[in-house]
Structure 1
């Protein structure tokens, strides 16, 4: 599987018309053996959980800002041994955080450490990273 090194490469994927998703896990081979598991209930879900990479219609900022934000939402999973990768597949249901659950998964690319660093930098520079939803 190829590796994307630049945030702009990842952003270009959302312009090709195919729904692409981001997943943090050990990788496609490990995920092919079982669906995702809801850790709170212990139940197996009907597919692998993934997060859409395309911005919603209300997003008026650059798409690259949205993609950087999406990449940064699950960086903590790197400490748990997960790797970020891009995929496509068929949405069959939704998980406990309303994330799409995919079957018929087709891996597209890994994300490099350089891309993760660029996403983190853009996220911190362009958005109020970590801003609380409700203040004071």
Structure 2
């Protein structure tokens, strides 16, 4: 699996083919053969939880802003030893946070720490991080 070094590279890969997703975990090998677990209920879900990288139709800012936001959404998991990686697969259901659950997963790329740092900087500079929706 190759490694993406910048948001620009991630944007290029997202435009190349099937819908891609982002997952934070110990990686494809660690995830092989088992699905995600809903941590609150303890129930096994029917696939791996992941977040879509495709920007929605209403998004009019640069795609790199959207990708930065997605990369930063689960950064706390890196403190638990998880690493961000890009994958594609078939959606079979949705998890408790309405995230797609994937089967037939194909790993695409790791996200390098430089990409994560770039995403964090861009996200905090260009978004109203932490602003309430009310």
TM normalised by structure 2 equals 0.97
Count of aligned positions: 134
Alignment map for 1:1-136 (pairs within 5 Å): 1-134=1-134
Distance in 1 of aligned mates of 2:127 and 2:17: 26
Deviation at 1:102, TM superposition (A): 0.3
* SS state at 2:105 partner: strand
Residues 25-71 of structure 1 show CA distances to partners (whole Å, capped at 9, x for unaligned) of 01001111310000011000000000000110111111110000000
- The CA deviation string for residues 78-122 of structure 1, in whole angstroms up to 9 with x for no partner, is 001110000000000000000000000000000011000000011
**What's the CA shift for 1:132?**
1.8
SS of structure 2 residue aligned to 1:128: coil
Q: Unaligned 5+ residue runs, structure 1? A: none
* TM-score calculated relative to the size of structure 1: 0.96
Partners in 2 of 1:82 and 1:106 — Cα distance? 18
CA distance in 1, matches of 2:52, 2:105: 14
In structure 2, stretches of 5+ residues that fail to align are none
Cα deviation for residue 15 of structure 1 reads 1.2
RMSD: 0.8
Task: Give the CA deviation at 1:11.
Answer: 1.1
SS in 2 for 1:102: strand
Three-state SS of the structure 1 residue aligned to 2:85 is strand
Spell out structure 1 runs of 4+ moving beyond 2 A: none
